[in-house]
Amino acid sequence: MLQPGISRYSFACDGHERHYRLYIPAGYQPGAAMLVSLHGGDYAMAYERTHWHELAEEKKFAVLYPESIAEGIAFNSWNLLDESHGRPDDVRYLAELIPAVTQQIEADPQRICLHGQSMGDMMGTHFLFEHPELVAAAYLTSGPTKTMWWMDENGVLLYHPKGPVPVMRLHGEKDIFQAEGYSEEERMLYKQQCHVVKNAECWLQVNGCDGQPRLWTENEKNMLMYSGKDHNDFWSLFIQDGVHRYPADTERLAWEYFLSGYRLIDGAHVYTGAEKELLGDTRNLAFALGSAEALVNGQKVPLPSPLYRDGDRLYFDAPAARLLAGLLDLDLLITDRVSAAEIAEAAGLCHAYRYGAAYAADHAFAMSYDFAYMLRNILGVQANLSDAEAYRLEEKIFEQQRLDHGFDKAKTRLEQVWQWSHVV
């Protein structure tokens, strides 16, 4: 009989004694779901720093906390991408552990979900690349997913997802790299270009997400929700002023609106309906400085002229303002120009402007840099870097970080992992 609460077990894999923790809620029943949560650099204490236990007690699912092998030189890191210096193959470890524990506790093999935080995000991402058939859906948080580790110096991807997986990702606005000589805005921009966008591009392609995303905002949370082929969706959640440790309530958001909706049936990821449905902002506007396009209630609309700035305000000239007023059925006095704020307020919407993008919705919200970047990209005034450009930029940043900390150039992959863990 399974003992409720948290317990630690050993597991043999590749000649190594591995360990994992398992949380069983009171009243657990066979056939329940299981969430696999991969730790970051905090290693064995990670299970004390999440709220999955509380959610598991309420929803009656089990939580599996696999552990990497603690070798201090690598900051207790997972062994990413390949075996190195005799360290174990963590992909194989997870691929053997997850089915074994599923069978041990009689969890539903169709309802195995994955979470990874920080370096656990990186490990989780690579595990999903290799074993999409073992996970119904994933929620990955705060991992830099370094471009330098996924590509060669020419920007050629070394690893590719072997199949689609429904994925939800989270990044905090202020969860950015540290290096001398870069402003905060530059660091937020380069995080987007080197990490967030490049990771998203992999999933958007393999999941068959080729349409415009739905947009959703609530307080400090901003999200883009891309519909994928056969419901293999990709959601990108951003937190305004967010840091490396994500807000606890996002676990509930991820479970109730995303993870709970998926099953693995005959090798396919099947959407059977989440506990709750997230429709997105149905009444919204989005503009970008210099763009002759707008988003009106989720639909992209061409404008006769672009949005421009005069002082600290954004304006449309009369033809563009008339078009928008007509689409929104506004009784608006139009002179030679009308501010974007006037249009939003006439439509009864709350609005925000940051980093060259303006957004309005029928409720209060805060806009993150990441969300503004993506709005500019959707509206055609923010280009993404090529893979090779992203690699070179991250290489330059990492070199500055290494010099800032007085590290010699890494001679091995393990040494590079150690250096990155101490400068990120």
Q: Percent of the chain having pLDDT more than 90?
A: 74
Nearest-angstrom CA–CA distance, 338 and 212: 27
Alpha-carbon span 221 to 84, nearest angstrom: 39
pLDDT in tens, 98-128: 999 999 999 999 999 999 998 889 889 989 9
Residues 190 and 98 in one domain: yes
135 shares a domain with 20: yes
* Number of other residues whose CB lies within 10 A of the CB of residue 336: 8
Cα within 13 Å of Cα(205), Cβ side: 10
Last residue of a domain, one of 238, 271, 304: 271
What is the rounded distance in angstroms from the CA atom of residue 238 to the CA atom of residue 216? 10
Kindly list the distances between the CA atom of residue 97 and the CA atoms of 146, 209, 279, in Å, as whole numbers in the listed order.
26, 31, 36
20 and 99 part of one domain: yes
- 383 in any annotated domain: no
Q: What percent of the chain has pLDDT over 70?
A: 94
pLDDT for position 422: 75
pLDDT digits (tens, 9 = 90+) for 342-369: 999 999 999 999 999 999 999 999 999 9
Nearest-5° Cα angle at 416, 10 to 195: 90
CATH for 182: 3.40.50.1820
Range of the domain at 218: 5-271
> Number of structural domains, the chain?
2
Query: What burial letters (b/e) apply to 367-381, b meaning 16+ CB within 10 Å?
Result: bbbbbbbbbbbbbeb
pLDDT (mean) for 312-327: 96
**Are residues 226 and 161 part of one domain?**
yes
Residues 81 and 224 in one domain: yes
- Are residues 312 and 210 part of one domain? no
Q: What is the dihedral of CA 396, 402, 405, 409, to 10 degrees?
A: -150
Last residue of a domain, one of 362, 388, 408: 362
Residue 195: which residues within 8 A CB-CB, separation 6 or more? 144, 145, 146, 147, 171
If asked whether residues 261 and 350 sit together in one domain, one would say no
pLDDT digits (tens, 9 = 90+) for 169-203: 999 999 998 888 999 999 999 999 999 999 999 99
Same domain, 168 and 232: yes
What pLDDT band is residue 81 in, cutting at 50, 70 and 90?
Answer: low
Kindly report the CA angle at 245 between 241 and 247, in degrees rounded to 5?
Answer: 70
CB distance 337 to 318 below 8 Å? yes
Pair (198, 105) in one structural domain: yes
Q: What is the pLDDT of residue 43?
A: 63
393, 399, 402, 407: CA torsion to nearest 10:
150
